[in-house]
Amino acid sequence: MTEVTFYFFGILTLASAIFILITKNVLHAALSLVVTLLSVAALYVFTNAEFLAVTQIMIYVGGIVVLIVFGVMLTNDVSGKTIISGSVNRLSGTIITLTVLVMLIYSGQELTPIATKVHNTASIENLGEHLMTTYLLPFEIAALLLLIALVAASIIAGHDLQSKIS
């Protein structure tokens, strides 16, 4: 049963990802991305990374994709014309993708699955403790990065407004 669900979500991930590439309608692509991210979240659950899965849903699906869809809708003509995305750099894109794929398959054989290494007892408590002790520096750097992005975004957004007022 577990294997069937695993392969179901694996196939769903691949199928929706391929659909993103094929479709020319940007909104359909964005909605397909929702399916991809949700099934990747389901795959995380199989590796016992429950917190990561929920975070994926919260941040990527609930936040980022919604913003993408928002952007698409606001640039869309309400009268019915949809934005069509073409495809460029087909040859170089294919080469790069294949190279990365080969590399991933090759290195994937070398790696041992993470799930066997990690202790999953009371994962949330562990996670919180480690974030505040062992991994404090990367955690703070990530926080700083987000803060910089936030400040920069509000400056970019408010820049025009300031010059209009004065």
Partner 1 sequence: MSTILFFLPLLLVFAVLAIYGERKISAFIQNRYGPMETGYYGLLQTVADLLKLLQKEDIVPRVASKALFLVAPFVIFVAVFAGFSVVPVLPTWQGASINTGVFFLLAIVSLDVIGIIIAGWASNNKYSLLGAVRSASQIISYEVPLTLSVVCVLVVTQSLDLQVISFQQGVLSNSYFADAENYLFGLSFANVNTTEIGGVLTWNILRAPVLIPVWIIFFITTLAESNRAPFDLPEAESELVSGFHTEYSGFRWAIIMLSEYGMMLLTSLLGVILFFGSWNTPFPNIGSIKLASWTTGEVGSMASVFWAVLWLLIKTIIMVFIQMWIRWTYPRVRLDQLMSLGWKYLTPAALVLLFFSALWRLMMV
- Angle, vertex CA 17, rays to CA 76 and CA 107, nearest 5: 140
If the CB atoms of residues 88 and 124 are measured against partner 1, the closer one turns out to be: 124
CB 121 to partner 1: min, Å = 10
Q: How far apart are CA 158 and CA 75, in angstroms?
A: 20
Determine the straight-line distance between the first and last CA of the chain, rounded to whole angstroms.
Answer: 66
DSSP 3-state percent helix, strand, coil across the chain (nearest 5):
80, 0, 20
Q: Which tokens in the block code for residue 83?
A: 């934005």
Q: For partner 1, what does the binding mask look like between residues 78 and 97, x meaning CB under 8 A?
A: x-x-----------------
Q: Pick the piece of the chain touching partner 1 (CB under 8 A) from 76-84, 85-93, 130-138, 139-147.
A: 76-84
Q: Transcribe 34-76 into DSSP letters.
A: HHHHHHHHHHHHHTT-HHHHHHIIIIIIIIIIHHHHHHHHHHS
**Residues between 92 and 131 with contacts to partner 1, criterion CB under 8 A:** 122-124
* 8 in contact with partner 1 (CB under 8 A): no
* 26 in contact with partner 1 (CB under 8 A): no
CA dist list (Å): 97 to 7, 20, 137, 165: 23, 15, 33, 48
If the CB atoms of residues 62 and 158 are measured against partner 1, the closer one turns out to be: 62
Q: How far apart are CA 49 and CA 43, in angstroms?
A: 9
Size of the site for partner 1 (CB under 8 A): 25
CB 79 to partner 1: min, Å = 9
* 50 in contact with partner 1 (CB under 8 A): yes
* 73 in contact with partner 1 (CB under 8 A): yes
Among 8, 63, 85, 102, binds partner 1 (CB under 8 A): 63
Residues in contact with partner 1 by the rule CB under 8 A: 27, 31, 34, 50-51, 54-55, 57-58, 61-63, 65-67, 69-70, 73-74, 76, 78, 80, 122-124
